[in-house]
Amino acid sequence: MFIAMNRFKIVKGMEEDFIEIWKRRESYLEGVPGFREFHLLQGQSYDDYTLFASHSVWDSPQVFEDWTRSEAFRLAHARAGSAKNVYMGPPNLELFEAVI
Ligand code: HEM
């Protein structure tokens, strides 16, 4: 099992706007070979931002890499980052391989 998490720092007060972007998105994950689950996670709030993570679960690093090079990835990100007022900078990608 392989997990890809992208951490987003969202400007305080813009949390609902960010959640709406994800709720309204056109998802292309269903049917992607090796894709298992997706969650949007809301974390702690700090002085000037709230932490979120997009959390995706895959069968293996290979199927995840294949998806990042796919048309499904390109389509899902065609508008990503366009609502510049909600983000405090670019997201932070973290990749994990399950060892147990
Ligand atoms: C390899 C790096 C990345 C991974 C693993 C990743 C992961 C994901 C996943 C799993 C989805 C849902 C796709 C779907 O439902 O079909 C998604 C969509 C999205 N991603 Fe990424 N992403 C990456 C890069 C980025 C970057 C650089 C941004 C910049 C802001 C970003 C922002 C977004 C947003 C905002 C959406 C929702 C799409 C929309 O606006 O409708 N992602 N991402």
Taking only the tens place, the pLDDT of each residue in 10-63 is 999 999 999 999 999 999 999 999 999 999 999 999 999 999 999 999 999 999
Residue 91 sits in a domain whose CATH number is: 3.30.70.100
Domain extent, residue 18, equals 2-97
Å from CA of 46 to ligand 1 middle: 23
Q: Which residue has the tokens 């709720």?
A: 23
3-state secondary structure of 95: strand
Q: What does the pLDDT average to over 80-84?
A: 85
| Token digits of residue 37 | 């689950």
Q: Is the CB of 29 under 6 A from ligand 1?
A: yes
Q: Give the Cα separation of 63 and 97 in Å (integer).
A: 12
Q: From atom 15 of ligand 1, which residue's Cα is the shortest distance away? A: 27
Q: Give the Cα separation of 12 and 61 in Å (integer).
A: 34
Amino acid at 100: I
Total number of domains constituting the chain: 1
Amino acid at 22: W
Å from CA of 78 to ligand 1 middle: 9
With the C-alpha atoms ordered 3, 14, 72, 70, is the resulting torsion angle positive or negative? negative
* Global pTM value: 0.92
Å from CA of 27 to ligand 1 middle: 10
